[in-house]
Amino acid sequence: ERRRAVANLPGPICPPLLGALHIMYRMNPKTFLKVSRENMGKYGNLQRVWILNRLLVMSADPEINEQLLGSQEHLVKHPVYRVLGQWLGNGLLLSDGKVWHQRRKIITPTFHFSILEQFVEVFDHQSNICVERLAPRANGRTFDVYRHICKAALDIIAETAMGTKIHAQAADSSPYAEAVSECTALLSWRFMSVYLQVELLFTLTHPHLKWRQTQLIRTMHEFTTKVIEERRRTLEEQQREKLSATSPDDDVGRKRRMALLDVLLQASVDGRPLTNDEIREEVDTFMFEGHDTTTSALSFCLHVLARHPQVQEKMLEEILQVIGTDRSRPVTIRDLNEFKYLECVIKESLRLYPPVPLVGRKLQTDFKYNHSKFGSGVIPAGSEVLLGIYGIQRLPSAFPQVEEFIPERHENGERFAPFTFIPFSAGPRNCIGQKFALLEMKMMLAKIVREYELLPLGEPVECVINIVLRSATGFQLGMRRRNETQ
Ligand code: HEM
């Protein structure tokens, strides 16, 4: 019956029982995007694939993506996300049903504009530290910018959302960031293999890697537990001392901010406070999602800017117009809102290099669609759907000169065909941190480009999926300090 339901959809030959294991066999974090795009070339933007008895629909089709992502019904994540379960538990990214609804309701207000506005001071301060830390690299020689950006992004998410300073940029190494990097590499390798996605089979076939995974997750949990304990202590101290809402000694700045972690520590669901484990799941989720995605986005953007000097020049002109040359003047939210061209640069970089290159759903009920080419149809309950963000944002039909980096295509609020530009996904399970990410990126890029000229040195990026999009060759570029008059 399931075969009949999707008989109208194209796809590779899938022999009975085994299905397309021969294609899966070629997939690994390095080849996934290439193999998927080859298949798109052969079978089109919407295809069905059988793997053993699992039905997988791969869609880089705007019409299907619009109907599925926009639906209130199909909100359960693809089973492959379960490999993240030991680390992120039932946090917002992985949960579904009542737990997801309750948590999304509690957390949404912590990303309100009025809260983000207060974070700008932290973005400004941490971006200044990043610019300072990059100074020894401004010697016209090739280097990989990733590590520097990663530490700044970690400092920013910890100080804003968690209300805790972790000084990642001051330290030579960050065990948490290193554990995230190694663990995501290991988990994305497991993502690609049908049998390694099953925890038991992974444990039985690769006990040494299972041991390493547990060790890495322990390192990350110890770190986030410490962050929670520290914040809890600070809040208790404040309560004891009866500090007012505008205390000058508050940990995260002069004004009292209701950081995400404060909300979690004080929230209640069904009449009881969140347990320590529930709080830690969210802290793990936001520490990871809040720094790994922006690090990827910023690193790709800096790399691509280094290869487009004219874009850099145009950007610099705008930056100087908006914030001038006085490096001691803090950059405000109003300044960030005036960076119109910079916003186009960020969007174009997110189009070519979306940090989350695909999202997946497991259908709990039949998904009924209406399509201009395939007509009305049903993808049956129990099927898995992978929605390709990377693939859709590189559709030649939607973007002329599709492989070129052209920020101008986003100018004057240019609208593209619906659901062809979705770096933050869309619908009820879209990215909760997208405004946060855009403000952070604007601040970091404006500060770096005002201080340094980016040079097209080193190897080009080579996209790989490490859960988040990364580059197998790193993010190489050169830097030279701009002269004082600029
Ligand atoms: C450029 C940066 C970012 C990009 C491109 C991005 C992209 C995305 C995408 C595509 C999703 C949907 C994932 C899915 O359906 O499986 C998502 C979800 C999510 N993002 Fe982001 N993200 C970014 C930054 C952030 C930041 C800074 C935070 C937190 C401060 C964040 C927190 C989350 C969370 C918690 C979810 C799950 C939301 C839910 O399911 O209700 N993201 N993000």
Number of domains in the chain: 1
- Residue carrying the six token digits 């405000």: 332
CA of 13 to the centre of ligand 1 (A): 35
- At 47 the three-state DSSP class reads strand
Atom from ligand 1 closest to the CA of residue 423: 5
Would you say the C-alpha torsion 213, 214, 216, 220 has a positive or negative sign?
A: positive
Position in ligand 1 atom list of the atom nearest CA 436: 27
Q: CATH number for the domain including 242? A: 1.10.630.10
Q: Whose CA is nearest to atom 13 of ligand 1?
A: 359
Tokens read off for 183? 């663990």
ipTM given for this complex: 0.99
- The closest residue, in CA terms, to atom 18 on ligand 1 is 431
Length of the chain as a residue count: 486
**C-alpha of 63 from chain center:** 24
Strand 54-59 to strand 384-388: parallel, antiparallel, or no bridges (unpaired)?
parallel
User: Which residue would you say has higher pLDDT here, 30 or 308?
Assistant: 308
- Return the amino acid letter for 123: F
- Could you give the CA distance from residue 218 to residue 229 in angstroms, rounded to a whole number? 16
Q: Which residue has the tokens 């053993």?
A: 52
Angle of the 340-352 helix axis to the 434-451 helix axis, nearest 10: 110
Integer Cα distance of 345 and 438 in angstroms: 11
Model confidence over 208-249: pLDDT tens digits?
999 999 999 999 999 999 989 988 888 888 878 765 555 444
Specify whether the CB–CB gap between 384 and 361 falls below 8 A.
Answer: yes
pLDDT in tens, 377-412: 999 999 999 999 999 999 999 999 999 999 999 998
The span from the CA of 68 to the CA of 368, in Å, is: 9
Residue 133 CB–ligand 1 contact under 6 Å? no
For 320-348, the pLDDT digits (tens) are: 999 988 888 999 999 999 999 999 999 99
352-377 pLDDT tens trace: 999 999 999 999 999 999 999 999 99
Q: Is 116 in the pocket of ligand 1 (CB under 6 A)?
A: no
Q: Which domain range does residue 40 map to?
A: 2-481
Grouping H, G, I as helix, E, B as strand and the rest as coil, residue 179 is helix
Question: What are 61-99's pLDDT values in tens digits?
Answer: 999 999 999 999 999 999 888 889 999 999 999 999 999
431 among the known binding-site residues?
Answer: yes
Distance 422 CA to ligand 1 centre (A): 12
How do beta strands 54-59 and 46-51 pair?
A: antiparallel
* Dist. CA 206 → ligand 1 center (Å): 31
Question: 208 burial class (0-12, 13-18, 19+ CB within 10 angstroms)?
Answer: exposed
* Tokens found for residue 15: 């022999």
Q: CA-to-CA distance for 430 and 324, rounded, in angstroms?
A: 35
pLDDT in tens, 8-37: 999 888 887 777 777 777 777 788 888 888
Backbone torsions φ then ψ of 245, nearest 5 degrees: -65, -15
With helix as H, strand as E and coil as C, how does 188-240 read? HHHHCCCCCCCHHHHHHHCHHHHHHHHHHHHHHHHHHHHHHHHHHHHHHHHHH
When mean pLDDT is compared across 10-14, 85-89, 429-433, 482-486, the lowest value belongs to 482-486
> How do strand 143-144 and strand 476-481 relate by DSSP bridges?
antiparallel
Closest CA to 107 of 118, 127, 94, 92: 92
Pocket test for ligand 1, best of 293, 295, 445 (most atoms within 8 A of CB): 293
Residue 194, pLDDT > 60, answer yes
Neighbours of 431 (CB within 10 A): 20
Instruction: Check the CA dihedral 422-197-153-96 and report its sign.
Output: positive
Tell me, using a 6 A CB cutoff, whether residue 296 lines ligand 1.
no
The percentage of the chain sitting over the pLDDT mark of 90, rounded to a whole number, equals 69
Sheet of 358-362, strand order: 46-51, 54-59, 384-388, 358-362
Query: What is the predicted pLDDT for the residue at 28?
Result: 76
Mutate to test the pocket of ligand 1, among 385, 431, 436 (most ligand atoms within 8 A of CB): 431
Ligand 1 binding pocket includes 356 (Cβ within 6 Å): yes
Q: Which atom of ligand 1 is nearest to the CA of 428?
A: 41
pLDDT surpasses 50 at 59: yes
What is residue 253's three-state secondary structure?
A: coil
Which residue owns the Cα nearest ligand 1 atom 15?
A: 359
Dist. CA 400–CA 416, nearest whole Å? 11
The enclosing H or E element of 320 equals helix 309-323
* Element (DSSP H or E) covering residue 463: strand 463-466
For ligand 1, atom 14, which residue shows the shortest CA distance?
A: 359
For residue 289 and ligand 1, the question of a CB distance below 6 A is answered with yes
DSSP label at residue 328: T
Judge whether 346 and 441 are in contact, CB under 8 Å: yes
| DSSP secondary structure, 409-462, as one string | GGGGGPPPSTTS--TT--STTS-TTHHHHHHHHHHHHHHHHHHEEEE--SPPP-
pLDDT (0 to 100) of residue 245: 52
Report the candidate in 358, 353, 356 with the shortest Cα–Cα distance to residue 461.
353
Q: Give the nearest ligand 1 atom to 437 CA.
A: 27
Asked whether 285 lines ligand 1 (CB < 6 A), one says yes
Closest CA to ligand 1's atom 3: 293
Cβ–ligand 1 distance for 58 under 6 Å, the answer no
pTM for this entry: 0.93
Nearest CA to 442 out of 343, 347, 305 is that of 343
Q: What is the pLDDT of residue 377?
A: 93
Q: Is the distance from CB of 231 to CB of 265 less than 8 angstroms?
A: yes
Atom number in ligand 1 closest to CA 355: 5
Q: How far is the CA of 183 from the centre of ligand 1 (A)?
A: 19
What's 396's DSSP letter? Answer: T
Atom of ligand 1 nearest to the CA of 425: 10
Task: Answer whether residue 486 is part of any domain.
Answer: no
Ligand 1 centroid–CA 424 distance in Å is 6
pLDDT in the model for residue 319: 96
Burial (Cβ within 10 Å: 0-12, 13-18, ≥19) of residue 350: buried
CA distance 441 to 269: 34
CA 416/CA 242 separation, integer angstroms? 52
Q: Tell me what percent of the residues of the chain surpass a pLDDT of 70.
A: 96
Decide: helix, strand or coil at residue 13.
coil
CB 421, CB 365: distance < 8 Å: no
The span from the CA of 74 to the CA of 360, in Å, is 10
